[in-house]
Amino acid sequence: MEKEKLSLNRVFIEGWAAFTRRPWLSIGGYLLGSLIGSFLWPFIGGPMAGGVCTLFLKMARDDNPEIGDLFSCFKDYWRWTGIMWLWVAIYMVCYALIMPLLILNVMSFGPDTAGNEPLTIIRFFIIHILLIFLLMIAILAAAARWGFAFFEAVEGGGVMNAFRRSSELTKGYRLRLWLIMIVLSIFANAGVFALYSGMFVTATIAVNIMTAIYLDLKRIKGSTQAIPDSLPYTV
């Protein structure tokens, strides 16, 4: 039996619908969650990320979301902090693969290159941009496999279990997810051209679309409920 394809049209429509139903809650929740999560992120970044996922999942299901959902995961502080730090470790592995090449490129730009300076500067920046692009590709490849760990953790279970379930959920769809994430990353950052303020709108829409993708994958893989009907959503 041929597996069902992940419909880009459907997830974009569902993500946009979730945003337009509650645009101010979407933007306000994302903005507040991002700002608070960025403040002392090693200590509160995990629970705040879990709160953002809880809020956006409830908005996608039209299940009485409220701004207080952002803080619903602090009661399970250590689990969410563990999930965040495991994600940090994955990021660090991606950086470790590319960072030596970035350092070598910087070291190659030395005094002995002065004789051919314009060409050397151009080459330096081209290589640097390509290496940073490769870094982003590596991070998005990891996200295409484990990117739904926070969403899965909303359903409960341990740290490793959330990453395992995300890996199982994305199996067979990772290349497509990787391409989608590249497009969504560009779209999310496009708001920077509107004096940065527009980024909160584009990034919020992108999170709504990612939430719709998660729910659609859950449906395709045979789980009709992405999060249990009973509240609270954390264990």
Question: Tens digit of pLDDT for each residue in 153-201?
Answer: 998 878 999 999 999 999 999 999 998 988 898 888 887 665 556 778 8
Distance CA 136, CA 133 (A): 5
Amino acid identity, position 110: G
Residue 111 has pLDDT above 60, yes or no: no
Q: Are 170 and 147 within 8 A, CB to CB?
A: yes
Query: What pLDDT, on the 0 to 100 scale, is given for residue 193?
Result: 65
pLDDT confidence band for 214 (50 / 70 / 90): very high
Residue 101 has pLDDT above 90, yes or no: no
Cα dihedral sign for 30, 28, 14, 235? positive
Residue 120 has pLDDT above 90, yes or no: no
Which residues 6+ apart lie within 8 Å of 32 measured at CB? Answer: 67, 70
Residue 203 has pLDDT above 80, yes or no: yes
Tally: H helices and E strands in the chain: 9, 0
Q: Mean pLDDT throughout 20-40?
A: 93
Mean of the per-residue pLDDT values of the chain? 84
Residues belonging to the chain: 235
Residue 119 has pLDDT above 50, yes or no: yes
Residue 116 has pLDDT above 80, yes or no: no
Among 5-9, 113-117, 119-123, name the one with the lowest average pLDDT: 113-117
End-to-end CA distance of the chain: 36
Residue 229 has pLDDT above 50, yes or no: no
Q: Mean pLDDT throughout 21-40?
A: 93
Query: What pLDDT, on the 0 to 100 scale, is given for residue 84?
Result: 95
Which residues 6+ apart lie within 8 Å of 12 measured at CB? Answer: 209, 212
Q: For the chain, state the CA radius of gyration.
A: 20
Q: Which residue has the higher pLDDT, 127 or 27?
A: 27
